[in-house]
């Protein structure tokens, strides 16, 4: 399985399926986290996921790309309450597992009135 396929499967199972029971197959124990609101390590991700997945997110992937051990995912994240986030996640994989993560997030983009007709996604 390619790194891109691993990340896609991770998104479908964990983020869209709200299921972390198979997280060991996707993530290293020493997972490095660069989001300042999430603790590092797999345990830190599980702590984050507990609250995040309770909001019933759905990720619609707009673009995904890979360059060696790096994979980026640009997506629309719609929460059960109707709020929408525009997100780009970047992962480094090692040995077929997520080893490191960075992200850029625009929150509540459903409230934005664009000044152009290019769309947010």
Structural domain contains residue 79: yes
**Which domain does 41 fall in, by range?**
3-18+25-108
Q: Which tens digit of pLDDT belongs to each residue from 3-61?
A: 999 999 999 999 999 999 999 999 999 999 999 999 999 999 999 999 999 999 999 99
Structural domain contains residue 60: yes
Q: Domain holding 36: CATH number?
A: 3.10.450.50
CA 46 centroid distance within chain: 13
Structural domain contains residue 120: no
Q: Which tens digit of pLDDT belongs to each residue from 58-80?
A: 999 999 999 999 999 999 999 99
List Cβ<8 Å contacts ≥24 apart for 54-62. 55/79, 55/80, 55/81, 56/18, 56/80, 57/15, 57/16, 58/16, 59/11, 59/15, 59/16, 59/87, 61/8, 61/11, 62/121
Per the structure, how many domains does the chain have? 1
Q: What pLDDT score was predicted for residue 27?
A: 98
21: left (phi over 0), alpha (psi -120 to 50) or beta: alpha
Classify the C-alpha dihedral 41-47-50-53 as positive or negative. Answer: negative
Structural domain contains residue 77: yes
Structural domain contains residue 80: yes
Q: What pLDDT score was predicted for residue 49?
A: 95
Q: The tokens of 118 are what?
A: 């290019």
Q: What pLDDT score was predicted for residue 6?
A: 98
Against a cut of 0.85, is the pTM above it?
A: yes
With contact defined as beta carbons under 8 Å apart, do 107 and 98 qualify? no
Structural domain contains residue 53: yes
Structural domain contains residue 82: yes
Q: Which tens digit of pLDDT belongs to each residue from 71-104?
A: 999 999 999 999 999 999 999 999 999 999 999 9
Structural domain contains residue 69: yes
């Amino acid at each position: 399985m390619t790194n891109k396929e691993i990340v896609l499967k991770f998104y479908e199972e964990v983020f869209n399926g709200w299921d972390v029971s198979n997280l060991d197959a996707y993530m290293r124990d020493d997972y490095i986290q660069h989001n300042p609101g999430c603790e590092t390590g797999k345990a830190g991700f599980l702590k984050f996921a507990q609250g995040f997945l309770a909001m019933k997110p759905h990720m619609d992937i707009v673009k995904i790309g890979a360059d060696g051990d790096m994979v980026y995912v640009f997506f629309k994240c719609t929460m059960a309450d109707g709020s929408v986030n525009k997100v780009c996640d970047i992962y480094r994989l090692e040995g077929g597992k997520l080893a490191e993560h960075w992200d850029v997030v625009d929150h509540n983009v459903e409230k934005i009135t664009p000044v152009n007709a290019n769309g947010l996604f």
